[in-house]
Structure 1
C-alpha cells in the first residue's frame, strides 16, 4: 500500500513537471515573439521618426527607445535560453533564465519611468526648444539635420512655425538675404514650390491653432503611450513566466544542478 502511494505521488509530481514544462515552453515562444515586437517598436521609433529627435533638447525620448531595443534583444535570447532550460531540466539554467527575466523586467520599469517623467515635462521642453531651433538654427551653417527636421515637421503635420507662422518673423534665415524675401520657409506652403514662402496668406500656408508644438507634442505623446503599453504588457507576461519558472525549479529539486 505504501509503495503504491509513493508511486502515485511520483507519477503525480512527474505529471505536474511535464505540465509546467509545456506551459513554460509556450510562454517562451510567446515571449520570443514579444521580444521581436519590442525591438520593432524601438527601431521604428528611432529610424522612422529619428528626424524629430534632434528638435528635442532632452535625450529621454531616444533613451526610452534604445532601452526597448536592448530589452527586446535580451528577450529574444532569453526565450531561446528558456526553452533549453525547460527541456534539459537543469536548475542552473533555470536560475540564469530567472535572473535574465528579472533584468528585463527592471529595464522595462526604467523605460516606463523615463516615459512617464518625459510625458510630464514634454510641453515645457517643446515650448522652450522648438522655437529656438526654428529661429536660430534653421538654414544655418552645419545645421542641415535641423533644417531637414523642421521642413519634414511642417509638411508632415501641415503646420507652420512653433506657435504660429508669425514666429518666422524672428528667424535669422528669414531676415537674411538668403531667404530671398520669403516670409516663411517653402515647407509651410500647402503646395510647396520654389519661393512659395513669399506669400504668408492663409490660402497659401498652413495655419494651425497651437502651431507645430501641438502637433509634435501629440505625436510624441502617442509614441510614449505605445512604448508604455508595450513595456507594461511584456512586464505582466514576465511575471507569469517568473512564477512558472519558480514552480518548475521547485519541482526539479531532486534534479542535478
Structure 2
C-alpha cells in the first residue's frame, strides 16, 4: 500500500515537472514577445512619444521591456529549478514570477489609465507643441516627429491646416513664404507648402490629432492586452510551482 502510494506520488511529481518545463518554455517565448512589443514601441515610434505631454505611454513600454527581459531569465531559472528539484530555487522562481506578474499588471493598468485621459491631453497640448516648437532651435526631435506624423497619416495641422497660421516658424522669415510645412504636401517638394489648395496639401477632417489619437489608442490596447494576458498565464505557472514545491521533500538543513 505504502509502495503504491509512493509510486503514485512519484508519477505525479514527474508530471508536474514536465508540465512546469513546458510552461517555462512557452513563458520564455512569451517573454521575448513582451520585450519585442516594448522595444518596437520605443524604437519605431519614439518620435511620436515626444509629442505627448505625459510619460505614461513611454513608461508602459519600458515596463514591458523590463518585464520581458526578466521573464526570459526567469524561464531559464524555472527549467533549472524544475529538473534539479531544488526547493530553494523554486522559491526564488516563484518570487520572480510574482514580481513579473505585478510589473505586467502595472503596465496594463498604466495603459488603461492613459487610454482614458489621452483625448483630453492631445486636445490641450498637441496644437501648442506644433505651433510653438516646430522648426525651433533645440526642438529638432519635435520637428522630425511632426513631419513624420503629417506624412504617415496624410494630415496637416493639429485640428486643420489653418492651425499653422499661428505657428512661430510660419510667422517668421525662416518659413520663406510657406503657409504650411512642406510635410503637409501630398507630394513633398522644397517650398511646396506655399500653396494651400486641397489638390496640393492634405485637408483631412479632424486634422492630425484624430489620426494620432487612433494610432496610440490601438497601440495602448496591444500593450494592455499583452501585459495583462501574460500576467494571467503566469498565474498557471505559479500554481504549478506551488504544487511541485509541495510534492518535493523538504531539504535537510
1:27 to 2, 23, 28: 23
Once the 2 structures are TM-superposed, how far is the Cα of residue 112 of structure 1 from its aligned partner?
1.0
Are the counterparts in 1 of residues 87 and 250 from structure 2 also a CA contact under 8 Å?
Answer: no
**Counterpart position of 1:11:** 7
Measure, in 2, the Cα distance between the counterparts of 1:215 and 1:139: 22
Measure, in 2, the Cα distance between the counterparts of 1:52 and 1:228: 19
For structure 1, the residue ranges without an aligned partner over 5 or more in a row are none
Once the 2 structures are TM-superposed, how far is the Cα of residue 254 of structure 1 from its aligned partner?
4.1
| CA deviations over 1:55-109 (Å, ceiling 9, x no partner) | 0110000000000000000000100000000000011100000000000000011
Alignment of 1:94-243 (within 5 A): 94-243=90-239
Are the counterparts in 1 of residues 31 and 71 from structure 2 also a CA contact under 8 Å?
Answer: yes
Are the counterparts in 2 of residues 89 and 255 from structure 1 also a CA contact under 8 Å?
Answer: no
Once the 2 structures are TM-superposed, how far is the Cα of residue 188 of structure 1 from its aligned partner?
0.1
Once the 2 structures are TM-superposed, how far is the Cα of residue 49 of structure 1 from its aligned partner?
0.5
For structure 2, the residue ranges without an aligned partner over 5 or more in a row are none
Q: TM-score, normalised by structure 1?
A: 0.97
Runs of 4+ off more than 2 Å: 253-257
Measure, in 2, the Cα distance between the counterparts of 1:256 and 1:173: 75
Higher mean Cα deviation, 226-235 or 179-188? 226-235
| CA deviations over 1:167-196 (Å, ceiling 9, x no partner) | 000001111111111110000000000000
For the aligned residues, what is the CA RMSD? 0.9
Q: TM-score, normalised by structure 2?
A: 0.98
Once the 2 structures are TM-superposed, how far is the Cα of residue 253 of structure 1 from its aligned partner?
3.2
Where 1:205 maps in the other structure, the secondary structure is coil
Measure, in 2, the Cα distance between the counterparts of 1:124 and 1:189: 28
